[in-house]
Chain A
Amino acid sequence: MIRNRLTVWYGELVLRKQLARRGSAFLSPGILWLLALLVLPGLVLVVVSFTERGAYGQIEWLFSVDNYKRLIGFGMLGWSADNLAIIWRSIWVAFVTTLIAILLSYPISFFIVNRPPRQRFLWLTVLIVPFWTNMVIRAYAWFLILAPEMPLAKLAVYLGIHPANTPLYPSSFAVYLGMVSMFLPFVTLPLYSSIERMDWSLVEAAQDLYASRVRVFMQAIFPQTKPGLTAGVILTFVPAMGMFVVPDLLGGSKFMLVGNLIQQQFGSSRDWPFGAAISMGLVVLTMISLQIYRKKSKEIEPI
């Protein structure tokens, strides 16, 4: 019976088999792409992370967990906290960057949502314009802004928090400045789309039910913006953990993050096995962090 093999798919009469074949035809390029360029290299990285570096930087296929021991600080000269400090700093910088971006994004999103519809597009464009420029060029642009002759440095000198005639970089301040400006739109845009679709009658209901301002935000606004916020947090926190251009340029050699460490292993140090181990460490840390975020964001207590 041909009837059993037929189905109506959103108004189109097709054979089930035909539909399945069409689906896999559309899907396979993407799957192959991910397989060849993400899954396989990832697996290679896992294997490499257990090998050893040869005398000339080549990979020696001798398997051990030495690279992971090194990662948590056990080196040839005994234990040192250097690597763990770098990892901790990376988590901290990513966390602070995400937090600042969230704090800035709420007012910005509400501001844009409250513009007349035509103006909104303009403001969103302003927000995205920096992305039309290369990331490295943008980092160099900060050099100019943070130069000793510029108002920002002069203000710092005037306030007595910075010595005269020196640029404001390299410093952790410069790194945060660069990081936040780099990732701000990744939080603002998803948050904006959540806020744009927000049901304001819930805000009115909370007001009507005697809620304080904090309570109105926590119960009527925050839960509605959570999907956008989560997208923004993931889009910011994950790449911020592995960022190396900004800390390299604006943080100097003392402000090393995991990203720089990995780049160093694959670059100047020619120690691919150790670089692979650090990368694995970063992947695991990112997953743990996101898991923590998922749990914490569910647990937020009503105020």
Chain B
Amino acid sequence: MTIEAIKTGLSIRDISKSSDEVNASIDTSIESQSGVDDNMTIEATKTGLSICEVSKSFGEVKALINTSLEIKPGEFFTLLGPSGCGKTTLMRIIAGLELADTGTVLLSGKDISRLPANKRHVNTVFQSYALFPHLTVFENVAFGLRSRKVHKDEINQRVTEALTMVDLTGMADRLPQQMSGGQQQRVALSRALVNQPEVLLLDEPMSALDAKLRTQVQVELKRLHQRLGQTFILVTHDQDEALVVSDRIAVMNHGEIIQHGTPKEVYERPTCRFVAEFLGAANLISGIRAGNGVETEFGALQVVKEIPWQKGTLAIRPERVSIHDNQPEVNGVKARILDVIYLGSNVELLLDRGFRVRTDTHRLFTQGEEIWLSFPPERLVVLND
């Protein structure tokens, strides 16, 4: 997909709501202003998507435990976590493909918890794409519009625009099985987007693509989102993907949201071991509080943030550790190099105390060599657990 295609593909008309919808949203905003002091927060819940205390069990297995979440309109939000963490369940509850045991889902202020999937203005890009094999690309994309009995001319126009948007102009008459995985994925994307949903759900859409194509599609997806300004919710287990595309990320584990924030927040300031380890590599150092520092097996380490515990863990990213030839002034630790892994753009050192250090230094490292490390206090993250 080229930038030109995005630019020409979608006009402003597509994103603007119909006049009825606009009136309705004006009505609700007037209602919310009358008699409510803190109307900023109300405004936030009245638009966008709010998930309030949603729980879901499958037999004995608790897939989601009292999960609450606010997703702002126009946001690219990612649910990130390992398989079985409940992210897909949460997505399916939003789509109406699963019924929550308790809790509510509000879309633009309306409770959609008990609304069937075919009445929700939410569309999904399925992991398997779920394209109709007996229908052409055009008919696949037109499916939602035909369901809603949109006029023929408008269908033609909107499907053509949607196919242009994902750079599939000449492929309208093909059948899904005549296309590559990447093309099928774009059909699935335009099939969902052509309906101009209030929320677009993406269920691990890149998992079937090869690594190179994946990074390319991620960037395209991000651009498309910026262009359309619609709410995107992505479900993925790939932390790199989450960091690349998202405005905000919610990290999930065992049916709960552990932490959410911007990609930078969750990467740089993880609040717990799980988040620190799940998003890229992390060196974990356990210790006991000693005044404003932490007493560890490597000696006393200074930290910037307040320490909420007596005994706990510090974390530091491998690329945040600095390497010195002589003993540094603060937080210095001596370590022996066990292995040097060449990664192309940088070098990863595996050290004798279980540390991993990543550096782009051009210096030559040899196995068995002793070096000084320092953990900059502002880079040492104090975990809550």
**Chain A residues at the B interface, C-beta cutoff of 8 Å:** 199, 201-202, 204-212, 215, 219-220, 223, 302
Contact = CB atoms under 8 A, between A and B. Distances in A.
Interface residues of B, number: 28
A204 B118 contact: no
B176 to A, nearest CB: 11
Contact of A302 (B97, B119, B130, B146): B146
Contact of A207 (B96, B128, B139, B192): B96
Interface string B136-174: 000100011011100000000000000000000000000
B132 A201 contact: no
Contacts of A207: 96-97, 116-118
B88 interface: no
B158 to A, nearest CB: 14
Given A211-B118, A211-B147, A302-B146, A205 B126 contact: yes
Given A212-B118, A220-B132, A206 B143 contact: yes
Given A204-B117, A219-B135, A209 B126 contact: no
Contacts of B113: none
B133 A209 contact: no
B95 A208 contact: yes
A204 B97 contact: yes
Contacts of A202: 130, 132
B139 A208 contact: no
B130 A210 contact: no
Q: Give the interface centre of A205, A206, A219, A302 by most chain B CB atoms within 10 Å.
A: A205
Interface string B183-213: 0000000011001000000000000000000
Interface string B265-289: 0000000000000000000000000
B143 A219 contact: yes
A58 B123 CA distance: 74
Given A201-B128, A202-B132, A223-B134, A209 B116 contact: no
B124 interface: yes
Given A204-B126, A302-B139, A210 B144 contact: yes
A210 B148 contact: yes
Given A199-B130, A210-B147, A212-B118, 12 more contacts: A201-B128, A202-B130, A204-B126, A205-B131, A207-B97, A207-B117, A207-B118, A208-B118, A212-B147, A219-B143, A223-B132, A223-B133
A209 B144 contact: yes
B4 to A, nearest CB: 28
Contacts of A210: 118-119, 144, 147-148, 195
A222 to B, nearest CB: 9
A212 B119 CA distance: 10
Contacts of A215: 147
Contacts of B147: 206, 209-212, 215
B187 to A, nearest CB: 12
Contact of B135 (A199, A201, A212, A302): A302
A201 B88 CA distance: 14
A228 to B, nearest CB: 15
A209 B139 contact: no
B130 A204 contact: yes
Nearest to A201: B130
Nearest to A216: B118
Given A211-B143, A211-B147, A205 B118 contact: no
Nearest to A300: B134
Contacts of A205: 124, 126, 130-132
